Amino acid sequence: MAQYKLVIGNKAYSSWSLRPWLLMKQAGLAFEEIRIPLYQDGHDTKIRKFTPAGRLPVLIDGAITVWDSLAICEYLAERHAGKKLWPDDAAARAHGRAISAEMHAGFTALRSKLSMNVRRVFPRAGVNAEVAADIARICTLWEDALQRYGGPFLLGSLSVADAMYAPVATRFKTYAVALPDGAQAYADRVLALPAMRDWYAAAAAETEMLPRYEQQDGA
């Protein structure tokens, strides 16, 4: 029996669910997946059976329940130090945590206008001036980290920081956003991860269609 249970939303749409799911899959951490489709069939009541916060994802480790993507990733990094989900170097860890927190709390224009939908392509839809500014900042952030730590991932090897930005890579693909060469190469590496390919395949098999995520303006 798997040590962990991970409660997630639809794979087509749930960016927050993707983050710990991808990290756990790539790290080889076994878990039981519990999927609750969002915005239908009493989803709120179902989610609140696992957490009073009423939001996904949720990690269950025996008597311990952790909600929020970044909190889950931090918990796993502590529990599995040998997996090197954060680098050993203190300065690199601090940088990784800073850019992860920036993703967690920022880029609201991009998130609101370019909703995650890994089953569709909406070329350049929703890219206004505020979204373009978010895109530029993310590209600068990616390219700085790649240069600083030598790649192929943001802090060198795959880490929590890459899991936090993985949904952004899917958005850039969905909305056919033109990126600088270095940022595009990084996005391509993230999208080529075995776990990411598995996520896309599972999303393609889902039958739920949520109109709020099927609009070309991303709203």
The pLDDT tens digits of the residues spanning 179-211 come to 999 999 999 999 999 999 999 999 999 998 877
Architecture label for domain 90-201: Up-down Bundle (1.20)
4: helix, strand or coil: strand
Architecture label for domain 4-83: 3-Layer(aba) Sandwich (3.40)
Whether residue 218 has pLDDT greater than 50: no
Q: CB under 8 Å to 58, separation ≥6 — which residues?
A: 6, 7, 47, 50, 51, 65, 66, 67, 72
pTM higher than the cut 0.75 = yes
| Same topology between domain 4-83 and domain 90-201 | no
The pLDDT tens digits of the residues spanning 41-59 come to 788 888 889 988 888 999 9
- All structural domains of the chain with their residue ranges: 4-83, 90-201
- Mean pLDDT for all residues in the chain: 94
Cα 206 to Cα 96: distance, rounded to the nearest angstrom: 33
The DSSP secondary structure of 24-88, one letter per residue, reads: HHHHT--EEEEE--TTSTTHHHHHHTT-TT--S-EEEETTEEEESHHHHHHHHHHHTGGG-SS-S
